[in-house]
Amino acid sequence: MEAETMARVEKLAAIGRKPGLATIIVGENPASAMYVRIKHSACDRVGIRSQNVHLPEDAKIDEILDTIRGLNAREDVNGILLQLPLPQGLDPARPMAAIDPEKDVDGFHPLNMGALLAGAERLVPCTPKGIVWALERLGVELEGKEAVIVGHSNVVGKPLAAMMLNRNATVTVCHVFTKDLAAHTRNAEVLVVAAGVPGLIRGDMVRPGAYVFDVGINRVGDRTVGDVEFDEVIKVAAAVTPVPGGVGPLTVSMLMSQTADAAEIQMGSEER
């Protein structure tokens, strides 16, 4: 994906439209700072211009909104990403909605989420996009497949369910109130787990030959582990994403691709 994005970026740069990504980080969250560095490193690899706006821990919501408005107005910024979580007491809803929908490379703006639900996908959340892209590259046709998603967050579960429905999968979404999780997961030809519970999915909960995507990132002692017991599930499934090194890098590569998408969308808007 990064190789393909690099080729697209080169074509855009050749006509003076090299894509640019701006990230905004508020406060001193070490995990957020690490994620932003990873995203900027990916920008360097594919040739996307990048910059980071670092606001102080005590920044007010109006300061964040003013920063977003300034980036919205800049022609050299095609994508804007507000790194979450924000410091305690700051609701991300207003800042996320303030981002120009055509620069919303995280895919969380209400207009982009609404378009996704209407089946008119443009900029969509990057983790679901990466999962669908991986299935397509593996030659797994979603149409008619039994897909089960564990976790119904706005970041992964809900948008992924919509993307899979748009491709005519039969989708079941499980969550903390699901009474018999294993009864659902054993039926899944495609299983996506984004619950934030270490080792939630065991080998006996997986259908033989299933494609399993582990979106969980959990710290257990000095290790980073997923929501899937990898060593058990790999014996049953057709394929399983590892943690770390699976869905995380895929998500970042989708962010790069979507920044190029945003640049192309903005070009089209100018032509209209």
| Catalytic annotation, residues | 39, 83, 106
182 token code pair? 């294993």
In which element (H, E) is residue 258 found? helix 247-271
Distance CA 125, CA 213 (A): 16
Residues whose CB falls within 8 Å of the CB of residue 150, separated by 6 or more in sequence, listed in order: 157, 174, 175, 181, 185, 191, 192, 193, 194, 195, 200, 201, 227
Amino acid at residue number 244: P
Distance CA 163, CA 260 (A): 20
Tell me the C-alpha to C-alpha distance, in Å, between residue 87 and each of 29, 91, 97, 156, 221. Answer: 8, 9, 18, 22, 25
Backbone angles phi and psi of 6, in degrees to 5: -60, -40
Cβ(197)–Cβ(176) below 8 Å = no
Distance CA 11, CA 15 (A): 7
Comparing CA positions, the residue from 38, 46, 25, 36 lying closest to residue 260 is: 46
